[in-house]
Amino acid sequence: MPDGVFRTAVTVTSPAHSAVVTPGLGETHQQQPNRQLDPKEKIMKQKTHKGTAKRVKITGSGKLRREQANRRHLLEGKPSTRTRRLKGTTDVDKADTRRVKRLLGKA
């Protein structure tokens, strides 16, 4: 072939395939009309995560309190100062409060 001449591939589609229209990026779908809920129809409710509910308590002011770790077993090998430091409860970290509240159904 001479320079500057390129072969181009030609695709032939059957008439059945050419009638199929798929929505592109710019096209929008029609929205379903807002459906009125039947009073007898039950709405799904958020369930409380029972594992979290047993481990975390909510104070009167709304803070989340939890027990500290490393106080359940193998205490003989841990210094007494460490076990005394770990007694009692502590606040749930600020980074986790939103997630924990959602698990408890309070968010």
- Structure-model confidence comparison of residues 87 and 38, the more confident one: 87
Question: What's the CATH number where 56 sits?
Answer: 4.10.410.60
Q: In what order do the strands lie in the sheet with 89-91?
A: 56-58, 64-67, 89-91
Tell me, yes or no, whether 100 lies in a domain.
yes
C-beta separation of 93 from 83 below 8 A = no
Q: Which residues span the domain enclosing 66?
A: 45-107
C-beta separation of 64 from 101 below 8 A = yes
CA–CA gap between residue 96 and residue 64 (Å, rounded): 10
- Structure-model confidence comparison of residues 7 and 102, the more confident one: 102
CA–CA gap between residue 97 and residue 99 (Å, rounded): 6
Tell me, yes or no, whether 58 lies in a domain.
yes
pLDDT tens digits for 10-64? Answer: 666 665 555 555 566 666 666 666 777 777 778 888 899 999 999 999 999 999 9
pTM assigned to the model: 0.57
**Residue 86 predicted with pLDDT over 80:** yes
CA–CA gap between residue 104 and residue 51 (Å, rounded): 10
CA–CA gap between residue 45 and residue 99 (Å, rounded): 17
- Average pLDDT estimate for 76-86: 97
The predicted pLDDT at position 77 comes to 97
Sign of CA dihedral 88, 94, 96, 100: positive
pLDDT band at 2 (very low <50, low <70, confident <90, very high): low
Tell me, yes or no, whether 17 lies in a domain.
no
- Number of domains composing the chain: 1
